[in-house]
């Protein structure tokens, strides 16, 4: 499919199962065999991740992780989303993916988390950049969305570094254990992305 071309109804297009970011950083489609390693990373970062992610209380065992991965693989087969393991030197350090894909309107929304020891190194920004390239250049998507809690300054800084536009604040966007949080909604379109990356 050519860049920017809308997939036809009978054309089966899915995100790639593995994407190289740079020499030692890559992401690959999460599989059942990743459940134990992924759960270990979640478990060792539980307190850190809990500040902004709402699913920690539902992830208490390797079996819970297997259920999540099975669900994400089903979404992948239906072309509704994709979850990748972020690997640095072959080891899982987090996940990144498309939480939703709207093929009709050619839009998608990114989600990610990273182990605390690997934050502050530009890894999420590099991964988002590579995922954006894949969405725009290979999948023919037009609009890429990132939502982050208003007080989650680290994720909002990622959106800023990616050159995304703040489109607004959504009130009580997510229930986070015992309270609602507002979210900042950022987006960028393929033409905007290409213009920014020609500079």
Q: Is residue 38 part of a domain?
A: yes
Q: How many domains does the chain have?
A: 1
Residue 180 lies in a domain: no
Give the residue ranges of DSSP H helices in the chain: 35-44, 46-50, 62-77, 123-133, 153-161, 190-196
Is 100 part of a structural domain of the chain? yes
Per-residue confidence (pLDDT) for residue 198, from 0 to 100:
75
State how far the Cα of 185 lies from the Cα of 130, in Å rounded to an integer: 20
> Does a structural domain hold residue 98?
yes
Residue 4 lies in a domain: no
One digit per residue, the tens of pLDDT, for the chain of length 199 reads 444 455 444 456 889 999 999 999 999 999 999 999 999 999 999 999 999 999 999 999 999 999 999 999 999 999 999 999 999 999 999 999 999 999 999 999 999 999 999 999 999 999 999 999 999 999 999 999 999 999 999 999 999 999 999 999 999 999 999 999 999 999 999 999 999 887 5
In a domain, 169, yes or no: no
pTM of the model: 0.91
Q: Is residue 2 part of a domain?
A: no
Question: Which residue range forms the structural domain that includes residue 46?
Answer: 18-146
CATH code for position 64? 3.40.630.30
Residue 181 falls inside a structural domain: no
């Amino acid at each position: 499919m050519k860049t920017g071309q809308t997939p036809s109804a009978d054309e089966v297009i899915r995100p790639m199962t593995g994407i190289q970011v740079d020499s030692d950083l890559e992401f690959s489609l999460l599989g059942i065999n990743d459940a134990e390693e992924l759960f270990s990373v979640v478990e060792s970062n539980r307190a850190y991740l809990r500040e902004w992610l709402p699913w920690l209380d539902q992830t208490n065992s390797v079996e819970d992780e297997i259920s999540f991965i099975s669900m994400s693989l089903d979404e992948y087969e239906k072309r509704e989303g994709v979850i990748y393991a972020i690997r640095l030197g072959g080891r899982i350090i987090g996940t990144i993916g498309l939480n939703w894909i709207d093929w009709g309107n050619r839009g998608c929304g990114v989600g990610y988390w990273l182990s605390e020891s690997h934050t502050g190194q530009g890894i999420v920004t590099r991964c988002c950049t590579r995922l954006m390239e894949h969405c725009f250049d290979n999948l023919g998507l037009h609009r890429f969305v990132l939502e982050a809690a208003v007080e989650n300054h680290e994720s909002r800084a990622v959106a800023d570094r990616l050159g995304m536009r703040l489109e607004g604040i959504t009130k009580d966007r997510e229930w986070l254990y015992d309270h609602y949080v507002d979210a900042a909604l950022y987006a960028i379109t393929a033409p905007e992305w290409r213009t920014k990356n020609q500079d």
